[in-house]
């Protein structure tokens, strides 16, 4: 899923690369091309969400399966991002960028034309794969295009604004396309973005030199991808089988073992995918965990609230997209306030736990929603509270997760932050969807499932269960952030690379 609205999602750290060459003449047009490509990738985290109830009705897949439409994208994107940056170095950034665009457009067309649930999921995984090529290449191209520090700061500001607004644009565009055309257009629209960016890229981008010394940690990539898949698949199996079923716990155990082997391999590999030194600083470690937990809790909210608004309250797709905007506004306001005012003066030890506490409160508040809830008094207030909380967590955590890393680890640290958010989203969506389905099944036990009122109340029981568990995630995050973050204001290295919110 989602990257969330107004996601401060992919954070990237870019080292200041001196260049003897004159900057490209059309560099501001290059920014437009790269920004358009990045907008497309960010949009896809949220645009399909609003369309999901319509897609489910059309293709006839179950509540237990629907999370895969979200998870396939997030899992492929998150787990392959670490590899994507290395591929760009090895094969040249322009080529990687263009291949990523073509692949993303092709898999979007496949998803739009999907005649079955399986075809849609394969297409979403393909989008994630090519997005993982596209995002690091876009950032690298931006870094090499803007060599003047002042121009670079301006370019990254524009780039960050495009990406930050992408989630919100996705919610609205998803609603408009679903309501006035068809849910399939939430995927087909990528063809227009990709076509413009591809033509611009071919004409404007300069061919970059390949780094012959770059190496790919293929064993590491295979271990982390298969480990994460097993964990997510195990969680989703718990819904269709049972928590005690061998098909559930065997996958969960296999996933845990594979991820443990991945961690061990990273200490042995000559060119590790994720050098463990990046994670071992206390503030950075706390930030990575905070991003993981927030991704898990947040992605769930978008999935279940979308279904609640459309199926329980009868909102149209456009109205659903608009309903999320106050949350987006709260998130953006708190993010700006946290990074510019609060963290530089107070430090993360108070601010991040405060954000976790607000997010917990927002989730608990949402558990009270029923079939007669009004938007202004019952839905919007907890959404704003949750948005403010998420903003106080995400922006500081993403910034601190990349602070103080060596120049050689800057790229991998920023990719790892985004990986944490996507992986958190995948795991959270899988687990919450399983808990939702189990709650619905338990409620219907002994009742008449054909009765629409019983069905509606069963849905409410499921949503409430998902919100309680989301609240539990954030409560755990509160405790962890209180314990791990250091006291005081983080020291800032004036020579450090700027952090960019993608």
What contacts 285, CB < 8 A, 6 or more positions away? 279, 484
Task: Say if residues 118 and 462 touch (Cβ distance below 8 Å).
Answer: no
What pLDDT score was predicted for residue 445?
Answer: 87
Q: Which of 3, 13, 50 is nearest to 404 (CA)?
A: 13
d(CA 381, CA 370): 15
Residue 342, phi then psi, degrees to nearest 5: -75, -50
Which stretches of 241-281 are DSSP H helices? 246-268
The reported pLDDT for the residue numbered 490 is 67
Q: Which sign, positive or negative, has the C-alpha torsion 191, 193, 196, 201? A: negative
Identify the three-state secondary structure at position 16: coil
- Residue 186's nearest CA partner among 296, 305, 70 is 70
Which residues lie below 8 Å from residue 250, measured CB to CB, with a gap of 6+? 234
The encoded tokens of residue 241 equal 């089988």
What is the domain partition of the chain in residue ranges?
11-216+271-501, 217-270
Using alpha carbons, select from 157, 154, 159, 217 the residue that is nearest to residue 41.
Answer: 159
From first to last of its 502 residues, the chain has per-residue pLDDT tens of 444 444 444 444 444 444 445 666 788 898 889 888 888 888 887 788 888 899 999 999 888 788 888 888 888 888 888 888 788 878 888 899 999 999 999 999 999 999 999 999 999 999 999 998 888 888 778 877 877 777 777 777 777 667 667 777 888 888 999 999 999 999 999 999 999 999 999 998 877 666 666 678 889 889 988 998 888 888 877 777 777 788 888 999 999 999 999 999 988 888 888 888 888 888 888 888 998 998 888 877 788 999 999 989 999 999 999 998 999 888 888 888 887 888 888 888 889 999 999 999 999 999 999 999 999 999 999 999 999 999 899 878 877 877 777 766 766 777 788 788 888 888 888 889 889 988 998 999 888 888 888 989 999 999 999 999 999 999 999 999 999 888 877 665 444 444 444 4
Instruction: Count CB-CB contacts under 10 A for residue 483.
Output: 11
| 408 DSSP assignment | G
> Alpha carbon of 157 to those of 45, 380, 501: distances in Å?
21, 30, 9
What CATH code is assigned to 11-216+271-501?
1.20.1250.20
Of the candidates 464, 460, 483, the residue with the CA atom closest to the CA atom of residue 356: 483
């Amino acid at each position: 899923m989602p990257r969330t609205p107004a996601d401060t999602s992919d954070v990237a750290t870019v080292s200041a690369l001196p260049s003897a060459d004159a900057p490209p003449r059309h560099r501001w047009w290059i920014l437009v091309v790269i920004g358009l490509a990045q907008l497309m990738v960010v949009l896809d985290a949220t645009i399909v969400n609003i369309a999901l109830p319509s897609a489910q009705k059309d293709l006839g897949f179950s509540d237990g399966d629907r999370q895969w439409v979200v998870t396939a994208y997030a899992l492929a994107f998150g787990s392959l991002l670490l590899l994507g940056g290395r591929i760009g170095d090895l094969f040249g950034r322009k080529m990687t960028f263009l291949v990523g665009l073509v692949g993303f457009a092709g898999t979007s067309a496949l998803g739009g034309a999907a005649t079955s649930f399986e075809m849609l999921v394969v297409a979403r995984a393909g989008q994630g794969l090519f997005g993982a090529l596209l995002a690091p290449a876009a950032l690298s191209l931006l870094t090499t295009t803007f060599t003047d520090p002042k121009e670079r700061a301006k370019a990254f500001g524009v780039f960050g604004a495009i990406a930050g607004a992408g989630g919100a644009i996705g919610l609205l565009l998803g609603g408009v396309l679903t309501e006035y055309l068809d849910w399939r257009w939430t995927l087909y629209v990528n063809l227009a973005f990709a076509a413009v960016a591809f033509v611009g890229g071919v004409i404007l981008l300069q061919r970059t030199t390949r780094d012959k010394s770059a190496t790919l940690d293929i064993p590491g990539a295979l271990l982390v991808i298969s480990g994460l898949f097993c964990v997510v698949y195990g969680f989703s199996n718990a819904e269709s089988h049972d928590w005690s079923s061998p098909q559930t716990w065997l996958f969960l155990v296999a996933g845990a073992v594979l991820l443990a082997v991945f961690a061990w391999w990273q200490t042995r590999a000559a060119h590790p995918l994720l050098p463990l030194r990046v994670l071992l600083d206390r503030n950075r470690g706390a930030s990575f965990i905070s991003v993981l937990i927030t991704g898990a809790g947040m992605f769930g909210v978008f999935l279940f609230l979308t279904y609640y608004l459309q199926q329980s309250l009868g909102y149209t797709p456009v109205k659903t997209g608009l309903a999320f905007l106050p949350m987006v506004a709260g998130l953006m306001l708190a993010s700006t306030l946290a990074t510019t005012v609060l963290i530089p003066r107070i430090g993360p030890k108070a601010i991040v736990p405060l954000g976790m506490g607000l997010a917990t409160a927002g989730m608990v508040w949402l558990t009270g929603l029923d079939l007669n809830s009004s938007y202004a008094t019952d839905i919007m207030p907890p959404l704003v509270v949750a948005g403010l909380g998420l903003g106080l967590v995400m922006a500081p955590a993403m910034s601190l997760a990349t602070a103080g890393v060596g120049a050689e680890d800057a790229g991998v640290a920023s990719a790892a932050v985004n990986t944490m958010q996507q992986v958190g989203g995948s795991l959270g969506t899988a687990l919450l969807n399983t808990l939702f389905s189990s709650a619905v099944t338990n409620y219907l036990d002994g009742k008449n499932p054909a009765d629409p009122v019983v069905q509606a109340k069963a849905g409410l029981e499921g949503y409430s269960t998902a919100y309680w568990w989301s609240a539990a995630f954030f409560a755990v995050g509160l405790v962890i952030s209180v314990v791990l973050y250091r006291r005081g204001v983080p020291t800032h290295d004036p020579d450090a690379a700027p952090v960019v919110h993608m």
